[in-house]
Amino acid sequence: MRDLPAAWRALAGDSAASQAVGAELAARWAEPHRRYHTPAHLRAVLAATEPLAGHARDLVAVRLAAWFHDAVYEGRPGWDEERSAQLASSRLARLGGGLARRAGEVARLVRLTAGHGPEPGDRDGEVLCDADLAVLASPGYDAYARAVREEYRHVPEEAFRTGRACVLAGLLAMPALYRTAPAREMWEKTARANVRAELAALTAPR
């Protein structure tokens, strides 16, 4: 995946307004309190859309939503996604043309990442959510899990373990972690093994 400034220019153009939005997004993703929701995560999500591109109806909207989906991040599930969606609506409206016309759809896609539950047939939502969850199948899963814990360092250990275990159990209860056929083929088996291992570690007697 090429560097993020180049990726943004390829997606949103190089007008002064676009460059200003790109600079703001880059600054947000680089905030010092972040440990997992960093530029590395953004690059990973953008890269994960590539093998799923054929499933999308509007790949530009999906990629824009990837840029905005954690642009606001304070470790407040639901609130972060809503604020990120509002940011997408505001900033894209300033850019005019096809970017402005996609503002509502991009905001909708961003909101989906709160629960990763697109409706059947929502092809763009499926691509974005699958790309966001690609990390579950990553060889670096253990580092991802540690980074998530660091982002919730304000939460006491027992409360974190209980909450995180609930999230992981919910993932495993889903018929499939991924909605697109390519993602299921590439990532489902490994992702489930990783999530099961983390859940077992969180719930093991200490």
Q: Residue 75 has what pLDDT?
A: 87
Long-range contacts of 14-23 (CB under 8 A, 24+ apart): 15/95, 17/94, 17/95, 17/96, 18/95, 18/99, 21/91, 21/92, 21/94, 21/95
Angle at 117 between CA 113 and CA 120, to 5 degrees: 130
Domain that holds residue 180: 4-203
CA 187 – CA 177 distance, rounded (Å): 9
Mean pLDDT of 21-38: 97
pTM of the model: 0.95
Mean pLDDT of 108-130: 97
Mean pLDDT of 121-142: 98
Q: How many domains is the chain built from?
A: 1
Nearest alpha-carbon partner for 36 in 135, 124, 109, 104: 135
pLDDT digits (tens, 9 = 90+) for 71-113: 999 989 999 999 999 999 999 999 999 999 999 999 999 999 9
Nearest alpha-carbon partner for 203 in 160, 147, 151: 160
- Confidence check: pLDDT of 140 > 80: yes
Cα Rg for the chain, rounded, in angstroms? 17
- Confidence check: pLDDT of 1 > 60: no
- Confidence check: pLDDT of 188 > 90: yes
The residues, any chain, with a CB within 8 Å of residue 129's CB and separated by 6 or more, are 112, 113, 116, 117, 118, 179
CATH (domain of 197)? 1.10.1300.10
